[in-house]
Chain A
Amino acid sequence: MASIHKLLIGTYIHRNFLRPRAAVPPFVGNHFVDYSSSSLQKQVASANKVSQQGKTEEGLQGHDHKEVALDVPSPDRTPEVSFDKAIRDEAMEHFRRLKDEIVAHVRGPDGRPLHEVIMEQARVVWQFREKEDLDKWILTSDKTIGGRSEIFLKMSKNNRSALLYGTLSSEAPQDGESNQSGYCAMISRIPRGAFERKLSYDWSQFNTLYLRVRGDGRPWMVNIKQDTEFIQRKNQMYSYFMFTRGGPYWQEVKIPFSKFFFSNQGRIRDVQGPLILDKISSIGFTLSDKVDGPFFLEIDFIGVFTDPAHTEEFAYENSPDLNPRLFK
């Protein structure tokens, strides 16, 4: 009876480990204006997208599947011992992470001394120097919903920057309800702590996003998602454009956080407010400019910094025609 219980627990953990959670749905399309009669269709499409992206993530984790399969011994040899060992190792790993987090918390915010954090003016959030840095990102395109776009991510030839490349195709999938399609997106994973707790970035003391990129002249969308516990908010994000110049020179893109506008499911909302920077969960890049063909984008690093010359709080004031209740 006890061994059966252990088997069940082991199986549950095994299944949980093998199947990661669904990816965050990306920003779809550059539509700017909302229309409520089409929201039902978009929600249905979004639901399909979420489920299929889960499958895609399983595909993305195929390598982990193989590793796990190799690590798991054959069922002929003492499965109870292997399950116990796996459970114990996993628990010890999580407790070790918890200990590291507690020690870092005692030392200061983010594990650094307080005076260093207070006087910090620039911070590198994402960099691409090893292959492990690429695992922090999720790739998705409309191939998951039946389109023909594809996107890949790898290290550049010099092994010091990330190369995002693929093909964009605006051919709509033949599912009977989509008449526009064509997007490629790269989203950062939500940072996780001990026991798979959700963490977030705190960028309260900075006011500008900095990207060092090299592109091919195509415009991209930069999307920032906040950390929120509500299911209804999972499609809300703040977006802005990143225009790449093209050519062999590196380009420094500086986007103030005041320029990001609030959008939901790819539509700009009527009520706009500034981006709150204390709980940022992920950042994403979306290409959907309705131009079919190959694309590439090289990314050196992504950071945030304080621009003392930029004092704007929010760039988009609300309109009394669209939001009369805000002006009563």
Chain B
Amino acid sequence: MSWVQVNLLARGLSRGWGSICRTVLSGTPFAQPSLQARGLHCSAVTHKDDVWLVPRPSEPQKKPIKVPAMHEDLFRPSGNGEQDKASFLNAVRSFGEHNVRKRGHVDFIYLALRKMPEFGVERDLSVYNLLLDVFPKEVFRPRNAIQRIFVHYPRQQECGVAVLEQMERHGVMPNTETEFLLIQVFGHKSYPMLKFLRMKLWFTRFKNINPYPVPRDLPQDPLDLAKLGLRHMEPDLSAKVTVYQMSLPSESTGIEDPTQPHIVGIQSPDQQAALARHNPSRPVFVEGPFPLWLRNKCVYYHILRADLPPPEEETVEEIPEEWNLYYPMQLDLEYSRSAWDNYEFDMDEVTEGPVFAMCMTGAHDQATLVKWIQGLQETNPTLAQIPVVFRLARSTGELLATTRLEGQSPPHSPPKGPEEDDEAIQAQQRQGQS
């Protein structure tokens, strides 16, 4: 008898609210079945809000409590404990097998979005398409104008937008399959479809606007990273990258050799010529370390520079003698610019001393930089006669913390030198470049 009552109530729920009322009103007069009917009625009232959002049959109250834990279990590492794309796809597929009716798919998709960086699939377009595929098809599409005017299934549309937002944040360009999935799930005029159109429009516009592109995946080898950084900073394409010293790992079994860091330098032919013309009586300075950000990794470099020469020492380069009458070495034309043709800024630009070379090293102490200077002397013989002054900034705690967070080797504190005691210079250098 009670089974018949439950069955009748279930069918009433599936039809609608009016049917539920009529069935309850026409209940049997027995006391015990009446109590059961009222209990089921409360249960139906509890689930009333869900009917408007998710078209799913009634369920006992205990089930929703277990849904988050069950979803979390899907993403637990498997037997081998590896977290990669295969295990992620396996988890998503397990959700589909576990829930043929896709119950709780919004929570599952939000959880999967949070778990993506852990599994390393946050830049994989097929994974995003698979997540969009988790949505049930043809259910959230508006069927008339009234449903289209008011946001049809707003929680599901917000979830769809959240998936696209994460794609946008990681620079993943959606493709035709994404468009097809969105049309199947939400329809043409939905908010996820609008966001898809905006992404498709503006991603193509901003894809190639960086004049100094950095590769998506930075090289893990410190040597290759140093080469990339130096090439990124140097505007002269004819500059040459030189590896002065490779990094050797310390062998515990072998002789107790100290670990020597890598030294990579870059210098252009113009800088070599400028260094050759430099007055040997004026010193050159090794300054640094200065930070350079490559996407989300901070590397440090040093520069070899000199002060500005005094105005009287700026000798004008003499033009050689005429060696051919058909190709004059000097032209004295009377062309000049007038007021309408003056594109120069009425401004004294900041000019600083010339930079002769740059380098990146595995360690930032003076001994390593001395090796760099010795390596530079092979291609710059005049550097042997020029005094070299080291102006190295002392590393601060913040710099150390940042360096450790970024996975770089922490810079060692430099030994004391003649210029080391200049606190003001160091304080300013620590904050910015000279």
Contacts and interface: CB of A to CB of B under 8 A. Distances in A.
A127 B345 CA distance: 11
B86 to A, nearest CB: 28
B202 A296 contact: no
B294 A124 contact: no
Interface string A220-262: 0000000000000000000001010111111000000000000
Given A37-B151, A247-B358, A319 B339 contact: no
A32 interface: yes
A165 B3 CA distance: 74
Given A246-B233, A247-B301, A216 B339 contact: no
Nearest to A252: B349
Most buried by B among A160, A246, A290, A300: A246
B350 A158 contact: yes
Contacts of A174: none
A163 interface: yes
B433 interface: yes
Interface in B226-267: 229, 232-235
A294 interface: yes
A116 B293 contact: no
Contact of A245 (B209, B233, B343, B352): B233
Contacts of A245: 212, 232-233, 235
A241 B210 CA distance: 9
Interface stretch (A85-93, A273-281, A301-309): A301-309
A163 B428 CA distance: 11
A168 to B, nearest CB: 10
Nearest to B202: A32
Interface residues of A, number: 58
B350 to A, nearest CB: 5
Contact of A116 (B339, B344, B347, B402): B339
B198 A33 contact: yes
A298 interface: yes
A34 B340 CA distance: 44
Nearest to A303: B345
B195 interface: yes
Contacts of B344: 122
Contacts of A163: 431-432
Contacts of B334: none
Interface of A: 31-37, 115-116, 119, 121-124, 127, 156-158, 160-161, 163, 165, 167, 210, 212, 214, 216-219, 241, 243, 245-250, 268, 270, 290-296, 298, 300-301, 303, 305-306, 315-316, 319, 321-322
Interface of B: 151, 154, 158, 161, 164-165, 168-169, 191, 194-195, 197-199, 201-202, 205-206, 209-212, 214, 229, 232-235, 290-296, 298, 301, 303, 305, 339-347, 349-350, 352, 355, 358, 398-399, 402, 405-406, 425, 428-429, 431-434
Q: Which 7 A-B pairs have the closest CB atoms?
A: A247-B233, A33-B198, A217-B293, A246-B292, A119-B339, A119-B340, A157-B428
Given A119-B340, A315-B205, 4 more contacts: A32-B168, A167-B398, A217-B232, A294-B399
10 contacts: A35-B161, A121-B341, A124-B347, A127-B347, A210-B345, A249-B355, A296-B433, A298-B433, A321-B197, A322-B198
